[in-house]
Structure 1
Amino acid sequence: MYRFTLASADLSALPSGALHWPDQRLLVVSDLHFGKSERLARRGGGLLPPFETRDTLQRLDDDLEASGARRVICLGDSFDDLHAAEAMDAADQLWLTRLMAGRDWTWIEGNHDAGPFALGGSHRATCQIGPLAFRHVATAETPEISGHYHPKLRLAGQARRCFLLDAARVILPAYGSYTGGLWSHDPILAGLMQPNALAVTTGKAALPLPMPRERAAGRGT
């Protein structure tokens, strides 16, 4: 994990893509996109193996167990669309319900969904805890924690999801298994993040490095 401080809050970026705030016993994840394979099949798109929900649930289960978190914030786009929430496999829904049980669980509205109301929990556009605001899309109102953009970078020739962080905000990577991403050098992200921003990779280790702001030489992405 990579430990850092934002607005006096001591936070940890986990290799899984989750954010941990130990003092608040809080785990934050973004862009779960449960049901993406079902949504693509329903709309006549490409067929993907229908296992992304279970893979995402397993990683979430592992993170909750390891962190001991009693509070969870999902930063929007938890389901690929609202029908995907209704179409969730009964066994997967039971698994998610079990993870929610006994925890203070908040669903933040995303652009893909307004929150899975049938599953319970709190449903909000934004959430404020201490000095930090939690929302789906970054704004000018900082300090904040957000998601939406699915940031990624290229490291050793491979695309890696990453956190982006500076003294004002953190943008989380997508937590869902079947999600694409926006390169950190994209003008949108370059415009949001301060010049000294860091990128923290996900995967086997949470590795901090200066946020890449230029496209890799010889590559179109």
Structure 2
Amino acid sequence: MRAEQLQNEQTFTLAGAELIARGTGALWWPAQRLLVVSDLHLGKSERIARRGGSLLPPYETQDTLARLDAEIEWLDPRSVVCLGDSFDDGLARDGLDTEAVDWLNRLMAGRRWVWIEGNHDPGPVSIGGTHLAELQHAPLSFRHIARPGASGEISGHYHPKATLHARGRAVTRPCFLYDSDRVILPAFGTYTGGLRTDAPALAGLMRPEALAILTGPFTAEIPMPGRCS
């Protein structure tokens, strides 16, 4: 593996499983060749325009799929799990253009593909793959929204972001959050925004010793802001 790839990921353990947080926001379980992404929100710009909101450049689906394609090309996963809110709503899912549908079909070909239901996309997915409320793959469980009291849990939903202060500068990036019970993934999709780690919803879920892994060209692991003792 090239040196720049090693600088762009962090390894940690959850419930005895060795996992890799990628700088892209994807999670890799190498022992199972399982790739996890969350909150793709495909079709977000179309959904916002349809509902009369601010117009966004209509390229987020292509950008998100291109980055996902690059991860799949690099890692060659046997399975891909999308942790919910893969589509911005049902109409956005059904309204994907032919190019996007063909692209997804090509990515799904020859591997197990699981769509976990999210609050934006609770219904079945008609373009292939398996649609589940949640997935159990011992010793881990995969769902969209973290469940208090769960253990060995991988989820998304909150789009966490954290700020690193270094050399007089503050850098805010999407981040993974993890402790001995769970990991919460950042949103993988373009235009998805984020929730600061000191928000009550996140601070109430994570243990005091929780860590944040900032994504980007060079990953950084820091104590979770808002949870420092």
**TM-score when normalising by structure 1:** 0.94
SS in 2 for 1:118: coil
Q: Determine whether 1:147 maps to 2:160.
A: no
1:167-206 to structure 2, matched below 5 A, reads: 167-206=180-219
User: C-alpha offsets along residues 103-143 of structure 1, whole Å, 9 cap, x if unaligned?
Assistant: 10000000000255211111111101111000000002211
SS in 1 for 2:174: strand
Return structure 1 stretches of 4+ with deviation > 6 angstroms.
none
TM-superposed CA distance for 1:69, in Å, is: 0.6
Partner of 1:219: none
Please tell me the root mean square deviation across aligned C-alpha atoms, in Å: 1.1
Partner of 2:96: 88
AA aligned opposite 2:65: L
SS in 1 for 2:86: coil
Where does structure 2 lack aligned partners over 5 or more consecutive residues? 1-8
| Percentage of identical aligned residues | 60
TM-superposed CA distance for 1:63, in Å, is: 0.5
The farther-off stretch of 104-113 and 60-69 is 60-69
TM-superposed CA distance for 1:159, in Å, is: 2.4
Question: How far apart in 2 are the matches of 1:78 and 1:143?
Answer: 22
Question: How far apart in 1 are the matches of 2:141 and 2:80?
Answer: 14
Partner of 2:109: 101
Partner of 1:26: 34
TM-superposed CA distance for 1:206, in Å, is: 2.0
When residues 61 and 175 of structure 1 are mapped into structure 2, their CA distance, relative to the original with a 3 A threshold, is: same
Aligned residues: 214
1:106-117 to structure 2, matched below 5 A, reads: 106-114=114-122, 117=125
Question: How far apart in 2 are the matches of 1:159 and 1:113?
Answer: 28
Question: How far apart in 1 are the matches of 2:104 and 2:34?
Answer: 17
Partner of 1:218: none
**TM-score when normalising by structure 2:** 0.91
Question: How far apart in 1 are the matches of 2:186 and 2:212?
Answer: 10
Question: How far apart in 2 are the matches of 1:153 and 1:46?
Answer: 26
Q: In the alignment, is the contact (CA less than 8 A) between 1:107 and 1:115 conserved in 2?
A: no
Partner of 1:60: 68
Q: Determine whether 1:71 maps to 2:79.
A: yes
Question: How far apart in 2 are the matches of 1:114 and 1:105?
Answer: 16
Partner of 1:208: 221
